[in-house]
Structures are given as C-alpha cells and as structure tokens.
Structure 1
C-alpha cells in the first residue's frame, strides 16, 4: 500500500528505497547500541558516552573538508565512499573489546556519519534538479522515519533473544545496510556529477570567510534546538515539573512520528524557492515559540491540563519541525554556489551538528532547571530568530552575489 502524497518521479524510486534501507539499519543501531556496547562489548556507560562524544567531535572537524572533497570528486563517488566507510566502521565495532579500540572505531565512524547529510543533500540536487529536490528530500524524510521505526522494532526482538550473536546483528546489520546502500547508489541516475571544470579551492574555505552566511547558519542552529526540546526537554519537564504521568512521553513521541509521516511532504509545498524557504523558517520559529510557551504553562495546571498542554506543545513543535526541515533545505540550497555546493552545505550542517552537541546542556541547565522562566526565555530566542532570518538570508545572498569566485580558485592541474 502506498502512502498518500509520497509519489516521486520514477527515476527517484531507487533513491527513496536506498533511504529506507539506510534508515532501517540506523534505527536498528540507535535503539540497541547502548545495550550492545555495555552488555556485549563489556564497556561502561561512561566509556560509551566518552567514545561517542569524541567520535562526534572528529566528525565535526572533518565535515567541511569532506564537503570540499565532494565538490572535487562529485557527489556519486563521495556518497558511495561514505556509505562503504560507514559499513566498514560499523563492522569493526563487532571486534571491539576494550575502551581504546572503541575510541578508535568511534572516530572512524563519526567522520562519515556526520559528513553523509550534506553530501546526500548535494546528491539529491544533482539527481533530480532544483524544482523537485525539496520534495524528494521530504519524501525521503518520511521514509527515514518509517525505516527508523522498523529498525527499532527489530532491535526489540534482538534484545529479547539476548545472546552475543543476536547482539552482533545490531552493528553488523547496520553495516550490511550501508554496504547495500553504497552498491545501489551507483545505479541512481544523476543529471550532473562532477564539477564541469574540476576546479579546486585555494586556502581556507570561502564559506567560513563570509560572515553573513555564517549568521544564517547560526540562526538555523538555534532552530535546530527543537530536536533537543522534543527528545530531552519535554520528557524531563513532564517527569519533574508537571503533574502529567511520565508514561505520556512515549505516546507523544509516536504522535510526532505519525505527524511527520503524514504531513512532511504536504507542508514542504511552496518551499522550493529561497523566499518560500524563509517563510517556512519564520513559521517554524513561531511554532517553536508557541510550543515552549505552552510548556511553561503546563507546570501550572493539574494532571489533565498538563497532559493536554503536552499534546498541544508536541503538535506545535512537530509543525515547526516540518516547516524547519523544508525551509532549511531551500535556504541552504539557495545560498550554496554551484561549484562549492558540498563545502557550503557542509558548513550549514556544521552549525546544526554543533547545536545538537550543546543542545542537551542548554535545554537542561538553561531551560528546564530554570522552570517556566527558562521556557519564556527560549520562546523569546525563537521569536527573535524568526524575525532575523529573512534579513539575514537576504544579506547573505547579496554577499554571495558580490563574490568573484574566479579570483579564489585555481585549476586542479595548476
């Protein structure tokens, strides 16, 4: 049975299927990695946390250089390389038996795991073109959510079995999905692959020297905090500051997933231009502000009121999440020069990755621990971001248009 609204061009169906395969493996790993490393690999929870943090840091450092590599070798070669790299890395986790080995493999895995998002975004653009790229990415996000859920269910079965061979499926199964995805990517047609003249950047990445572009990435990073609000802020707030039963958290996460599956493509319509993307980001900022205002009020009412407030907040957050996804795609595409698309998209994702790293501290210490005033402060930040995003994007576009890239590049043969 086909979900309504998920029709994609025939040439994109294989790419969407690859996304499903990828997501099943990722869902399998996300749901089971903590148990695998502590019960099967014999690591402590602290060692797992430290290793994954170091691996993520390695991914951040390498993100922009790999984006520049994608500009150099083309999105197909870069995407296949990153998928095969991840396959080898996750397979190596099966042989980890101490902290040092885990740390090394975490760094190896962290680099392609971070780099794959902007390279995949570049791949979709070169696959389907400007008019349909946001729609195809939106369909793929729906499929990712379905795949994550399937992977999570498979992990439940593995945890019930509870044997060492079963635990190995968590990492080896993930490796197998990346291997299959990498092989299938070679068959997805592209409108364009390598840069036409094989130019290569000289010196420091140009994107990191454009202050107005970095302002846009910073504003987008503020909006990325919605992810931490959903996964950490709402559960902690419900459990510690409201009369709502903690058991309501699970259904709220399901509600979020269902709304993403049903509405992502629909709410992405009209966002295929820069102006449409800015409108979507404004709506997202307002929806996030509304969400956290409702959360602030939820601590002042009885249990029934708190549950209703939590549901309303989750719906507002999810609508904001849907607009934010489509809007940031459109804006990041619009502000990325064609010959440096991998570099610029990687820097844009760098801001998002940094927000996800600092988000847990900001939301717990800066918001939840401050009570209702913490949520009110975050609401003000979201509103200010929504007001600033339009002028910031326009200023970045003007700066990019004024640049003379010919003066900053040199032929690869030189």
Structure 2
C-alpha cells in the first residue's frame, strides 16, 4: 500500500503548523489591532473588514482556475505571499483607506487557500494516505492555533503598541516561512496528461453538469453549518438561556480544541478502512445527537447535571467533527478529476463559504425565536445530510469512497521524478 513520501508529508505538515501558529497569533486581535494602533473606531474597523472579506470571495473561483492552469503549489505559495504582504502592510496603516488595501490583500490570500490546499493534498498523497495527511493537518492546525493564541496573549500582556506590531510582523514572517516550506514539498503522485492545463471544454460549466459532485456539495452545506455552532450559538445559549457562568463557554471550547488536537490522528487510523461516505455520515449523526443533548440540557435541574450534559454534548460534537472533517475532505478531493481539480475544489468550497455567510443571521434569528427549536433544526439538518450521504454512495467513484481498493494497485502512483517526458505530462497530480 503506497504511503505519502515522508519528506513530502512532514514538510507539508510543518508548513501547516507554521501557518496555524501565525494565524493563531493574529486571531485574538483581528479587530483590536487597528483600533488600538490606528485609533479607528471599532464600527469602522468592523465595516472595513467585512467589505474586504466580501470582495475576497471573488478570489475563490479565480483560485480554482489558477490551480488548473498553474498548479496547486503555485497558488498556495502565492496566497501565502499575498497574506504576508498584507500583514506587512498592517504595520504601515494610518487611516481607513490604507487599512482597506491591506485587509483586501489578506482576504484574497485567505480565500485562495481552501481550494488550492485541497488540490495540493491530492499531489502529495493518494488513497488512505490522504486521509491520514488531512487528519494530521487538522490535529496540528488546532495545536498551532493554540500555540499562536498563547504566544499572542503573552506578547500583548506588555500592553504597548509595539507588542501589536510585533505580533503582526511575526505573522507576516510566518506566511513567508510556510511558503518556503511548501515550495520544497515534493510531489509524489503520478502526473497525468492534461492536468494542470487550462480546460478548453467548459471549465466551471463542466463542474456544474457533474450532478453527483453538485449533490455532494449541497449535502455538505448543512453539515458545514454545524461547525459554526460552537462559536456562534453555544456562548449565547449558555449565558442567556441557561444562565451559566461566562467561563463555561471557554471551557467547552477548550475541550473541543484539545480533543481535536489529541484524538484526530488515532481516530482516523481507527476508521481508515471504512467507506468515507459512511464515516462522514456517522459524523453527521453524532452531530445530530450532540444537538439533541444541547436542546435537552435546558430541562435539567441543578448545575451538576447541567454541566455534565453540556460536557457530554460537547464531547459528542467534537467526535462528530473528528469523523466528518477528514472523510468529507478526502471524499471531495478524490471525486474531482485531476484536470479540473482546482475548479472542483473551488466549487466545493461554496458549501462552506455560503453557510458561513448565512450563519450569523440564521443563528441570531433562531435564538430569538426558540433556542430549543434551533438545536432541533440543526439536528434535523445534520441527520438529513448524513442519510443523503449514505444514499448517494453508489453514485461516487469507488476509489474516492473506498480508497484502499486503489491502494492495492501500485502502478497508480509513480514518483514525479521518474515521469519520463516533460512534454507529454503536466504538473498536477493524477486523478484519485
């Protein structure tokens, strides 16, 4: 059974750790930086960042085209350099116009990342090795975010503007370092004719005509919505509906973060020989169960039973995320043809981007109408998506659903270094 080349796998994961650590340093001060350093009022800062983020969405489909034309590695590196330049520009911001220009650079770099990194994974690993690599990335990313956040809290404890500048400067450097590491990651999956060249036959129209992939994207959207409940719904539900202390949301969030960092890799090894559709569907079912527990927690008397129920619900929620995330990412990547993988991944990212945009409105309206009803709605959506995943299993490529069946064919993977004729091959990995 082929494994990802050790140098490719570990250089990639180190790059992801560096990326996450830099991101973790900036996340705690994303709004505060411009407020404290430039003196801009928080509403102006928030509005500017929102407009920049909306403009950045344009780069998502553009990234898909660029991946298919120039290769995933090039787009990942370009996105890192854009973000590095943007964060470097933060140090020079003195007014709202300069802030907007810097934030737009970062937003464009951010939005090119999801489709290009998924396409790059397909060049680094194939079969079940891809699931393991995604699991390692998710585990280390959570750890890196925690390390970055802790580093930022220590540096910002000084309470001086120079501390904010230092954090932003380190973030800029971290993206350059991640770009250098990605540039040295060798591709170990065979290259195929036509991959990496601009498609002359439809582009995104070809993706839209792929009914199975469109359906897979639609099915993922309700499950993507589940990922936002821990940060958006739970804190409001706990403090305003259940009247818990303000420290409880932080404890539950820590349980989720630590659980992913510690359990993701061993759990993925445990389910690696299960069909990806079934593993992802199981994750959706566990999500639904956790939401039912959150809904029922309002009926429990006393702090002891209430906290026990909340911690159990959060543990189940974390398990659902651990099961669903690597399986669905590998499933989508494996379903996409190599010559259009960039466009396919950009299209698939809509299943994450659109729920992310709709979540604040949907969640605030649901909490205002009926918190319990919102949890029940989320449970229904998650279980419905899980069932739909199982029902469409036979419509997806066998190698995408059960990758170990392809692992048994050694000829499917050839190191890029031994591909004989550069004029007859292209720089993107083979179809998986």
* Fold match by TM threshold 0.5: yes
Matched with 2:80 is 83
Which structure 2 residues correspond to residues 177-326 of structure 1 after superposition, within 5 A? Answer: 177-192=174-189, 196-197=193-194, 198-202=196-200, 203-205=202-204, 206-269=206-269, 276-301=275-300, 302-326=302-326
Structure 2: segments with no counterpart, 5+ residues: 401-425, 427-432
Matched with 2:338 is 338
Q: How far off is 1:346 after superposition?
A: 1.5
Task: Call closer, same or farther: CA 1:204–1:15 in 2, change over 3 Å.
Answer: closer
Q: How far off is 1:369 after superposition?
A: 4.0
Alignment of 1:362 with 2:362, yes or no, is: yes
Alignment length (residue pairs)? 394
Matched with 1:382 is 382
Distance between the aligned counterparts of 2:152 and 2:14, measured in 1? 21
Q: How far off is 1:270 after superposition?
A: 6.5
Asked if the contact 2:20/2:142 (under 8 Å) is kept, the reply is yes
Matched with 2:414 is none
Once the two structures are superposed, residues 274-319 of structure 1 have per-residue CA deviations (whole angstroms, 9 ceiling, x without a partner) of: x722111211111111111111111122322221121111111100
Distance between the aligned counterparts of 2:272 and 2:353, measured in 1? 24
Asked if the contact 2:82/2:108 (under 8 Å) is kept, the reply is no
Normalising by structure 2, we get a TM-score of: 0.85
Distance between the aligned counterparts of 2:50 and 2:294, measured in 1? 29
Distance between the aligned counterparts of 2:242 and 2:338, measured in 1? 49
SS for the counterpart of 2:198 is strand
Once the two structures are superposed, residues 19-48 of structure 1 have per-residue CA deviations (whole angstroms, 9 ceiling, x without a partner) of: 111111000011122221211122222222
SS for the counterpart of 2:94 is coil
Distance between the aligned counterparts of 1:374 and 1:181, measured in 2? 40
Structure 1: segments with no counterpart, 5+ residues: 1-6, 401-411
Normalising by structure 1, we get a TM-score of: 0.88
SS for the counterpart of 2:57 is helix
CA RMSD of aligned residues (A): 2.5
Greater relative CO, 1 or 2 (CA 8 Å, sep 6+):
2
Distance between the aligned counterparts of 2:134 and 2:265, measured in 1? 9
Q: How far off is 1:271 after superposition?
A: 6.0
SS for the counterpart of 1:132 is helix
Once the two structures are superposed, residues 200-227 of structure 1 have per-residue CA deviations (whole angstroms, 9 ceiling, x without a partner) of: 1245512134344222212212111222
Distance between the aligned counterparts of 1:323 and 1:8, measured in 2? 25
Q: How far off is 1:51 after superposition?
A: 2.2
